[in-house]
Amino acid sequence: MGSLRVFSTLTHDARIFVAGHKGLVGSAIVRRLTSYGFSNLVLKTRAELDLLDQAAVRDFFREEKIDFVFVCAAKVGGILHNSRHQADFIYENLMISANIIQAAALYDVKKLLYLGSSCIYPKFSPQPIPEEALLSGPLEPTNEGYAIAKIAGLKMCEKFYTQYGKCFVSVMPTNMYGPNDNFHPDHSHVIPGMMRRFHEAARGGASSVTVWGTGSPRREFLYSDDFAEAALTVMESYNEPGFLNVGTGEDVTICELAFTMAKVVGFKGEIIFDSSKPDGTPRKVLDVSKVKSLGWEPQISLEVGLRLAYEWALGADAFSLSPESRVVQVPGV
């Protein structure tokens, strides 16, 4: 028996392809669809379907008769990995986007939802960032390859909508966290990276833990299940060529995050801020008024979300896996 919500665009017998279903975002969308009783999900591992292979992607869409697509597959990574592999990031993300979007158009997909990321906005965007800020200034150089490819994907959806009438729309999620996140000690984003460090400090009985930067930068965080609900809302009721920001619209300092993390993980020692590590941009928060006007609101507070993510990480043994064995599949840079 699924949770209660009435759907009209997404029908329960529809064939729904979630590309990237093993990652942070894709897995959250699958959980949410399943909880609403959608059972006709089409999920393919990388070994079963190589999204970089145009012919394979076309064959897949021709044979599978897909009705709806969530494009959660992307090559993603933290700032260091991203900046050192920009050729791979631009090539793979362009190919994944172009192959899926074009084949979806060719084989009559009814609606497609593409994922951008708040890190593809210009480096010096107004805060909170409105949708209109896209392409209004230079990008952050360290992730230019990734950003150019994702912007191309967003624009492909828009152009297929206006030229061919294909209902292909996009969302721009803020920093997300939750189950299936990447807990690599150095290559991850702040929540899983910090969670690992606090966990190891608490378990090891350390008297202090070090947090990167001054603690003053402000960031917005969204639990992946809240995002999944927003993605379903956009799939249901957003029908124009373009995209919508998805976030909480509220930000916290890294210092506040660290104290909440200590509470969740049970670390009682001293928190030291290492100002020799980069702070990055001082503030990053999205203007989410448009998506909220569709009736969506985030439900999970930062503390509750951190507790859920921590429970998942403990259950999945995410802290004890060797860094190399973690698949990096987290959108957002």
Which residues does the annotation mark as catalytic?
A: 146
Q: Which is nearer to ligand GDP, 57 or 176 (CB)?
A: 176
Q: How far apart are CA 131 and CA 138, in angstroms?
A: 16
What are the angstrom distances between the C-alpha of 267 and each of 96, 194, 207, 315? 41, 12, 9, 19
Determine which helix (DSSP H) or strand (DSSP E) holds 220, and give its type and residue range.
none
Using CB under 6 A as the binding rule, whether residue 279 contacts ligand GDP is answered as: yes
Q: Which is nearer to ligand GDP, 79 or 98 (CB)?
A: 79
Q: How far apart are CA 121 and CA 156, in angstroms?
A: 17
Single out the residue of 66, 149, 176, 254 in contact with ligand GDP (rule: CB under 6 A).
254
Size of the site for ligand GDP (CB under 6 A): 22
Q: Which is nearer to ligand GDP, 131 or 279 (CB)?
A: 279
Q: Which stretch binds ligand GDP (CB under 6 A): 21-29, 59-67, 94-102, 271-279?
A: 271-279
Q: How far apart are CA 12 and CA 102, in angstroms?
A: 25
> Which residues between 161 and 220 bind ligand GDP (CB under 6 A)?
175, 188-190, 193-194, 197, 211-213, 217, 219
Using CB under 6 A as the binding rule, whether residue 256 contacts ligand GDP is answered as: no
Q: Which is nearer to ligand GDP, 95 or 209 (CB)?
A: 209
> Which residues between 113 and 132 bind ligand GDP (CB under 6 A)?
119
DSSP letter for each residue of 145-181: HHHHHHHHHHHHHHHHHHHH---EEEEEE-EEESTT-
Using CB under 6 A as the binding rule, whether residue 323 contacts ligand GDP is answered as: no
Using CB under 6 A as the binding rule, whether residue 78 contacts ligand GDP is answered as: yes
Q: How far apart are CA 285 and CA 167, in angstroms?
A: 28
Q: How far apart are CA 43 and CA 255, in angstroms?
A: 39
